[in-house]
Amino acid sequence: MNKIKPLDFTGDTIFCGLDVHKLSWRVNIRDKDMELKDFTQPPDAVILYKHLSKNYPGAHYKVAYEAGFCGFGIQRELAALGIECLVLNAADIPKGDKDRKQKNDKRDARSISQHLSNKRDLKTLYIPATQWEHARTLVRNRQQQISDSTRCKCRIWQFLYFSSLPIPDKAETGQYWSGKFITKLQQMDCNNSFELKAALDIKLQDYLHKRKLLLESTRAIRKMYRQSSFWPLMKLILTIPGIGEINAAIILFELQDIFRFKTFDNLCSYVGLIPDTDDSGDTRRNKGLTHRRNNFLREAIIESSWVLVKKDPAMLMKYKDYCKRMHKNKAIIKIARHLLARINYVLRKQTPYVSGLVAG
């Protein structure tokens, strides 16, 4: 009587592409030669693990999905089960014209599994430690509250213009609204209109609430970066002229581990301080700063660069020299690269910045 040979895929790699959604996952499984299965399952890492271990026991499982609404939670769950899981940028996954025009979950999952099996050196997203990810979430939350606060101010401004109400003197939308200025708005009679007065009061209450939350976020960030796991690196960044506490926190928690960038060019690319180019034959076009960027990080570094040229005479001299050859907005991008080089230096060398020792 012939013995049944048990399944054993030891030495093989099973590639699995996931198209993840809130209520379901589309799963596409393949090996290095062919597509094996395609199905939909509930959004549960344990169910996927049981399916892989039952059908392909002994194999090495390699799973990938696009970064999206669920963050790194799926990656951490699968990693805890012993499955190698990568998170990909959707823009880095090659797709044909047909896949783009006839997009569906099956095609998306298949594209990921094919990309996973064909590429040895994948461009994957960095997975931060949980504590660092939570710290970054707090910092990003403050940036969102700044946007909400600015939106409230713009709504009040539009309301005053639309209702033909007088604008208080020496006031601009983008400026800081002092307590005295807010009091003036609160005391407006709105042409003795009850309806307009009620609408203005509600808009002001909304703005003041957003402003209070922004203050609470700022205090929470200051308390957070004083922790022993963050403070040594924060102190290093704060030694660089032009960088204040909040921008230092943004820079630190967005960069995370400076050693994940192999070269300074990789770092500039991540921040978004490189141009988009369109080269073909003898034709070269520079399309301005790249749209692929870490928006929080780039804004913080450019904002700090404007302060740097006022505090550092050497950088002021460089800035003025750049301005002779280009627009001032392009010149400040050059200064931002110098500032990023200083940040890169102090974090890699673990030494405070000393003026004159670091090449700008």
Q: Residue 360: its pLDDT value, please? A: 43
pTM here? 0.90
How much is the mean pLDDT over the chain? Answer: 91
Among residues 19, 219, 28, the alpha carbon closest in space to that of 110 is found at 28
Residue stretches of the chain with pLDDT short of 70: 1-2, 120, 170-174, 279-283, 356-360
Q: Supply the Cα-derived Rg of the chain in whole angstroms.
A: 26
pLDDT in tens, 195-218: 999 999 999 999 999 999 999 999
- For Cα atoms 132, 137, 141, give the angle at the middle one, nearest 5 degrees: 150
Q: Residue 252: its pLDDT value, please? A: 97
Q: Residue 258: its pLDDT value, please? A: 97
Distance separating alpha carbons of residues 327 and 307, to the nearest angstrom: 18
Q: Residue 112: its pLDDT value, please? A: 95
